[in-house]
Amino acid sequence: MSNDNLTHFGFQEVNEGDKEKKVAEVFDSVASRYDLMNDLMSAGLHRLWKRFAVAQSGVRKGARVLDIAGGTGDLSLAFAKRVGVEGQVLLTDINNAMLTHGRDRLLDRGYPVPATQCNAERIPFKNDVFDCVMVSFGLRNMTHKDAALAEMRRVLKPGGRLLALEFSRVWKPLAPLYDLYSFKVIPKIGQLVTHDAPSYRYLAESIRVHPDQEGLKSLMESVGLEKVEYFNLCFGVVALHRAYKF
């Protein structure tokens, strides 16, 4: 088999066809405790990172927003509050367990956001329909990130914005401490809370093989996104990339 068919699943090299299955296993396993784990692992910081992303979106009342890899729906909820009844938010995810959890959670809070199960590499919507497309902590798990980004660009209206919130490359002096936390502490928390340390080991590994800030910026430019910029959060533990379609 040629190397072209291999991709990363954390630090493992796997066949491209197997990555989707393995990522699905991770999210099937963690879905029910996903929100709790996010709060525990980040000490609640993920809420601030997401709030910052929404603040940078420029989304106003009446806007149409697409939440890609939206999972349990944190971003969909925040955007639904912003766009009001005049606007529309669509929650999407490849994983049925995460999506169902997200859809139900939004309904419980009084936001009946439509949910669509789909792969970000093949978005089932027409060209030029969304004011904003958001992908939060999802891109890292995708097999063909360039194809997914091209699809996100395709469905944006001219003038629309893409926001990608993702783990990135931490400021070098902090790397040893961050490595210790992510490779030693996080899998232990995962084991205690979800009885699944390997899924949280995958989380730590997948961050290391994901493009860094400049790498993701170049990837976005390579699919025709413009005016790409990024904001480092917590010394680059996370970065928010913002880009436009013109």
Binding site for ligand SAM (CB under 6 A): 23, 27, 69-71, 74-75, 93-95, 98, 119-121, 136-138, 141-142
Cα separation, 243 vs 224, whole angstroms: 10
Cα separation, 135 vs 233, whole angstroms: 16
Q: Rounded to the nearest whole angstrom, what is the least distance from the CB of residue 246 to ligand SAM in the complex?
A: 25
Q: Rounded to the nearest whole angstrom, what is the least distance from the CB of residue 151 to ligand SAM in the complex?
A: 10
With CB atoms as reference, the residue minimizing the distance to ligand SAM is 71
Question: Among residues 16 and 226, whose Cβ is nearest to ligand SAM?
Answer: 16
In this structure, which amino acid lies at residue 195? H
Q: Rounded to the nearest whole angstrom, what is the least distance from the CB of residue 194 to ligand SAM in the complex?
A: 13
Give Cβ neighbours of residue 66 (< 8 Å, ≥ 6 apart). 89, 90, 92, 123, 125, 130, 132, 133, 134, 152, 155
Question: Among residues 11 and 246, whose Cβ is nearest to ligand SAM?
Answer: 11
Q: Rounded to the nearest whole angstrom, what is the least distance from the CB of residue 96 to ligand SAM in the complex?
A: 9
Taking Cα atoms as reference points, which of 17, 34, 43, 13 lies closest to residue 93?
34
C-alpha dihedral sign at 10, 11, 12, 16: positive
Question: Among residues 38 and 88, whose Cβ is nearest to ligand SAM?
Answer: 38
Tokens of 147: 């194809």
Q: Rounded to the nearest whole angstrom, what is the least distance from the CB of residue 77 to ligand SAM in the complex?
A: 11
Question: Among residues 164 and 243, whose Cβ is nearest to ligand SAM?
Answer: 164
Give Cβ neighbours of residue 111 (< 8 Å, ≥ 6 apart). 76, 77, 80, 81, 89
Question: Among residues 74 and 196, whose Cβ is nearest to ligand SAM?
Answer: 74
